[in-house]
């Protein structure tokens, strides 16, 4: 029951996170245009590496460590303050390096200085504490209120491409305020009673093991935008970034499940409940396939109509990029379950790192020729291949530990239901236009998918129906 409650909290917030860009992206894309939007994406991508260096894997590591000791307040207090002090140290180093970068190599300096606020905000980010304690209600409400204020500020003060600096400041300062707002919860943990016994540096090495995959993941999520800015053009950065946002906004539905289940899985491991962990994995993967297949085929079918309506006619170049990039939703879903819900909670970090590094190397090798010759489309191809390699290599690494055949035993039922939906959507494409056409296609697509799924009747789908019927009766 607690898992369901936490999921609903997180799912509700993720739905809100999906709605906010659905409102802001069309507005910002139109008032700024591809060039200003490309500058924003390019400068954020650079600053992101310094944000990543400041975090140094402590967010994921902190979630896991808090989940391990959450039943012992003395240990919890010690772990929290050790990790927080380490975060202050690593963020200080990162900010100093960022200042050196701006003063020596920085392009678009004023925008980079604006993003430096987000780096400093890392010091105050304790969302990992509340996630490890499964306090998703507090996190969701806090994030909801801050995002609403930021949304109002964007519509009030961002009117033309000349307001790019204001747009960046709203996002950076919003992050800072959001992190500050969590600190009143810390009084429940209390200040450290024996400061001399705190050993923050002992957490650096294990956190680094989690930092490596985060850095590697960034090589095919963030570095693509930096390389597009260097090897192609700022407009191509905007095209890829717009496509990437649409795909990742859609994928956030599945991320919300992982965020809830990771601390649950970690707690199951620390309690020696391996059977419960495998049950969580099986249902989580089934849920992921049930959502990911129609999501992927739906984006492919609707991209041609959706992009001009959503972003504007000046972004038609995004259409083929989005179609190609949407393919990565399926491997991302698999890697999200195997990596974040099994390898990380069970502390199989070396395996996790190996698969992520393999994907990163692949992306880096493909990126140079693909971006040089094909721009944003080449970047989309590279990242789709990289995500597939990550998912496949993770499955290969755990095939002797987990029953892969059992985990995927009914994948084809979700696939065929999604294909049936796709065919209907392609037919509808010739008879519908505008937002009414998109809405009609969306509703018809959902109906067709679940109608076919009802006929094929996979076990997880039947289990969900049984749960719903019990709740109604």
101: left (phi over 0), alpha (psi -120 to 50) or beta: alpha
Average pLDDT over residues 429-458: 90
pLDDT tens-digit readout, 187-211:
777 776 677 778 888 888 888 887 8
Look at 406 and 329; give whichever has higher pLDDT. Answer: 329
Percentage with pLDDT > 90 across the chain: 41
Identify the pLDDT of residue 4.
Answer: 57
pLDDT at residue 150 greater than cutoff 70: yes
pLDDT at residue 348 greater than cutoff 70: yes
Average pLDDT over residues 405-413: 85
Contact (Cβ atoms closer than 8 angstroms) between residue 255 and residue 224? no
Look at 241 and 281; give whichever has higher pLDDT. Answer: 241
Look at 344 and 439; give whichever has higher pLDDT. Answer: 439
Count CA within 13 A, CB hemisphere, residue 211.
Answer: 18
Residue 236's closest CA among 122, 121, 317?
317
Buried b (16+ CB within 10 A) or exposed e, 39-67: bbbbbbbbbbbbbbbbbbbbbbbbbbbbb
pLDDT tens-digit readout, 351-380:
888 888 899 899 989 999 999 999 999 999
Average pLDDT over residues 177-196: 79
Supply the pTM of this predicted model.
Answer: 0.78
Average pLDDT over residues 81-89: 89
pLDDT at residue 350 greater than cutoff 60: yes
Confidence of residue 262 (pLDDT cuts 50, 70, 90): very low
pLDDT at residue 105 greater than cutoff 90: no
Spatial neighbors of 103 by CB under 8 A, at least 6 apart, are none
Identify the pLDDT of residue 453.
Answer: 92
pLDDT at residue 237 greater than cutoff 80: yes
Confidence of residue 223 (pLDDT cuts 50, 70, 90): confident
Between the two ends of the chain, the Cα-to-Cα distance in Å is 17
Average pLDDT over residues 20-47: 90
Tell me how far CA of residue 90 lies from CA of 62, 161, 182, 338, in angstroms.
14, 35, 20, 29
From CA 445, how far away is CA 9, in angstroms rounded?
Answer: 26
Residue 332's closest CA among 438, 410, 409, 257?
257
């Amino acid at each position: 029951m607690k898992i369901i409650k936490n999921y609903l909290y997180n799912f509700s917030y993720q739905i809100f996170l999906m709605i906010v860009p659905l409102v802001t992206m069309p507005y910002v894309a139109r008032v700024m245009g591809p060039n200003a939007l490309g500058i924003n994406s390019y400068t954020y991508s650079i600053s992101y590496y310094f944000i990543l260096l400041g975090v140094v894997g402590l967010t994921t590591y902190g979630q896991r460590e808090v989940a391990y000791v959450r039943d012992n307040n003395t240990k919890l207090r010690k772990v929290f303050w050790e990790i927080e002090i380490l975060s202050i140290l690593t963020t200080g180093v990162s900010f100093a390096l960022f200042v050196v970068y701006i003063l020596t190599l920085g392009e678009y300096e004023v925008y980079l200085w604006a993003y430096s606020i987000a780096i400093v905000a890392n010091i105050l980010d304790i969302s990992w504490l509340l996630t490890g304690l499964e306090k998703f209600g507090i996190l969701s409400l806090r994030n909801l209120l801050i995002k609403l204020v930021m949304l109002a500020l964007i519509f009030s003060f961002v009117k033309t491409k000349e307001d790019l600096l204001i747009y960046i400041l709203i996002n950076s300062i919003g992050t800072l305020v959001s992190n500050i707002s969590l600190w009143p919860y810390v009084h429940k943990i209390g200040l450290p009673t024996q400061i001399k016994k705190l050993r923050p540096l002992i957490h650096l090495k294990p956190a680094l093991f989690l930092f490596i995959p985060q850095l590697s993941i960034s090589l095919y999520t963030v570095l693509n935008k930096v390389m597009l800015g260097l090897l192609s053009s700022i407009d191509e950065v905007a095209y890829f970034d717009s496509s990437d946002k649409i795909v990742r906004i859609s994928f956030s539905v599945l991320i919300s499940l992982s965020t809830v289940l990771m601390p649950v899985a970690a707690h199951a491991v620390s309690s020696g409940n391996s059977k419960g962990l495998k049950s969580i994995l099986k249902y989580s993967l089934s849920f992921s396939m049930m959502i990911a297949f129609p999501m992927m085929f739906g984006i492919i079918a609707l991209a041609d109509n959706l992009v001009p309506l959503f972003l504007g006619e000046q972004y038609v170049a995004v259409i083929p990029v989005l179609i190609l990039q949407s393919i990565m939703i399926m491997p991302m879903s698999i890697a999200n379950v195997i990596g974040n819900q099994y390898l990380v909670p069970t502390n199989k970090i070396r395996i996790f790192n190996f698969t992520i590094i393999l994907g990163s190397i692949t992306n880096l090798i493909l990126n140079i020729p693909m971006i040089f010759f094909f721009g944003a489309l080449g970047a989309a191809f590279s990242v789709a291949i990289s995500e597939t390699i990550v998912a496949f290599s993770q499955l290969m690494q755990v095939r002797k530990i987990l029953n892969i055949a059992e985990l995927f035993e009914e994948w084809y039922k979700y696939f065929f239901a999604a294909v049936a939906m796709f065919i209907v959507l392609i037919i509808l494409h010739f008879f519908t236009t505008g937002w009414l056409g998109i809405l009609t296609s969306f509703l018809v697509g959902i109906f067709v998918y679940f109608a076919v799924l009802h006929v094929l009747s996979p076990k997880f789908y039947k289990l969900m129906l049984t749960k719903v019927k019990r709740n109604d009766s």
